[in-house]
Amino acid sequence: MPYTPHTPKEVSAMLDTIGLKNENELFDCIPKELQIDGLNLPDGLDEFTVFSKFKEIASKNATNKTIFMGGGYYDHIIPSAVDALSMRSEFYTAYTPYQAEASQGTLQSLYEYQSLVCALTGMQVSNASMYDGATALAEAALMAVRITKRNKILIDKWVNPTYIKVVQTYLEFRDIDVEVVDYNDAIIDETIAAFLFQNPNFIGDINEFESLIDTLHQNKALAVMSVYPIALGLLKTPGELDVDIVSADGQCLGNYMSFGGPSFGIIATKQKYIRDLPGRIIGKTVDKDDNELFVLTMQAREQHIRRHRATSNICSNQNLLALRSTIFMSLVGHDGFEQLAQLNYSKCEYLKEQLKTISGITIFNQKDTFNEFVIKIDKDVTLFLEELSKKDFYAGINLGKLYDNLQNCILISVTEKRTKEQMDNLVAAIKELV
């Protein structure tokens, strides 16, 4: 949108034309109690002064700290080609194109995205992406309710706590019962629509869910699994586990952390559930001249069909970020994913082993973990993390703020970007403080 400035003389002429004394009269239709008394903004500045001001503000950001924080957003390597291709003007939008004949390149990239997600998860169909990982899991829960015609959802307590809150919020006004349980104690019967679980879970544990999935299917309930895409380079795919619906957050696939966003959601399922899949699905066909082309095959959104029949009312599928993941997955490839996952696993194991040697540090996890684990200390975690921040480490997440039973616990994440030197330096810093 172009910036069109107007001089005071031009503004006065426009007001005279419509019979007003000043701009404030344009808002007379708004009740006085809802109006504000000015915005307290400074006078306008020239372009170069504004640029200098923004640089001054940006310089206050800490950009030199080594990141060992995860909890849903991860500091992964992003190949330069991802930026170079996704920033091209043909692609630079967050929205799915509505005029398929004018948007073949974007539609093809989304078609490739769907194909790559299916290859990564082992599922049969994927949509053209969702808003983020939390809402993707909530949409999967709604999908399970539609399929089973049941109104009870169980969700494992070690699912990302943000995801749990979003699922609860989504389902609160739908007359759907949501229970947060420990998957080991879950009672599965024919009243359950689905069990929602995460693997690896929020604290990094890798669990065996095969028996749970079998029990769910025996009771005609659905297995809904939230995954960490990078981990699928080593772990069994949801398809191999016979999971019914898969969701994930795609930030780790070629997207920056950016203060907690932006991100996009992944959702995939079995072929037989395709008509209950929310969002949009891109298909490939031929025209009357037998030329290959791409189309919006299914659009089960309230913008496209009768509102009461819509499967989702999320209006953005985060197309640009899904495109970045398509480029990322294409560049990394099958073997690259395995190597990437192995690096995340082995580097995390190295740091875990080093921290075990420090007196006063206990590893909380009793199971195998993937690139994330919990340590317990005998000190005030808030002050401990602040001291490590002064030493230029974002050392982890204070789990005491999220769980009542995890006081003095810190969630630490290690990705392929962390070097041995960085990990050794963190260990040395922790030794000084414990």
Task: Please give the residue range of the domain that contains residue 358.
Answer: 66-76+334-433
Nearest to 363 by CA among 375, 353, 379, 351: 375
Question: How confident is the model over 359-407, as pLDDT tens digits?
Answer: 999 999 988 999 999 999 999 999 999 999 999 999 999 999 999 999 9
126 and 254 share one domain: yes
319 is a domain residue = yes
Please tell me whether residues 241 and 306 are part of one structural domain: yes
267 and 352 inside one domain: no
| Helix runs in 173-295, H state only | 210-218
Domain of 208: which CATH number?
Answer: 3.40.640.10
Question: What's the domain count of the chain?
Answer: 2
**Residues 70-107: tens digit of each pLDDT:** 999 999 999 999 999 998 877 776 565 666 665 788 88
- The number of helices, as runs of H, and strands, as runs of E, in the chain is 10, 15
Residue 294 CA to residue 205 CA, distance in Å, equals: 41
Model pLDDT for residues 358-370, shown as the tens digit of each residue: 999 999 998 899 9
Task: With respect to residue 16, please indicate whether it lies within any of the assigned structural domains.
Answer: no
pLDDT tens-place string over residues 160-189: 999 999 999 999 988 899 999 999 999 999
Confidence of residue 45 (pLDDT cuts 50, 70, 90): confident
Burial call 183-203: b when 16+ CB within 10 Å, e when fewer? beebebeeebbbbbbbbbbbb
CA 86 to CA 118: how far, in whole Å?
Answer: 21
Cis (ω within 30 of 0) for the bond into 278?
Answer: no
Same domain, residue pair 274 and 388: no
Q: Is 279 within a domain?
A: yes
Instruction: Report residue 343: phi and psi, to 5°.
Output: -65, -45
Separation between Cα atoms, residue 252 and residue 328, nearest integer Å: 10
CA pair distance 187, 181, nearest whole angstrom = 9
Name the range with the highest mean pLDDT among 2-16, 49-63, 219-233.
219-233
6 within some domain: no
Does some domain include residue 383?
Answer: yes
Is 99 among the domain residues?
A: yes
Residues 320 and 398 in one domain: no
| Residue 224 pLDDT greater than 90, yes or no | yes
Helix/strand/coil for 132: coil
DSSP assigned state of 369: B
Q: How far apart are CA 223 and CA 235, in angstroms?
A: 17
Q: How does pLDDT run across 110-134, given as a tens digit for each residue?
A: 999 999 999 999 999 999 999 999 9
Q: Give yes or no for residue 306 having a pLDDT over 70.
A: no
362 in any annotated domain: yes
Are 163 and 263 part of one and the same domain?
Answer: yes
pLDDT of 104 reads 83
**In terms of domains, do 284 and 137 share one?**
yes
Cα 315 to chain centroid, rounded: 16
Percent of the chain with pLDDT over 90: 74
Higher pLDDT, 428 or 93: 428
Alpha helices in 154-308 (DSSP H): 161-172, 210-218
pLDDT of 1 above 50:
no
Q: Is there a domain that residue 160 lies in? A: yes
Whether the predicted pLDDT of 231 surpasses 70: yes
What digits encode the pLDDT tens for the residues 130-163?
Answer: 999 999 999 999 999 999 999 999 999 999 999 9
What's the CATH number where 372 sits?
A: 3.90.1150.10
Q: Which amino acid is at 209?
A: F
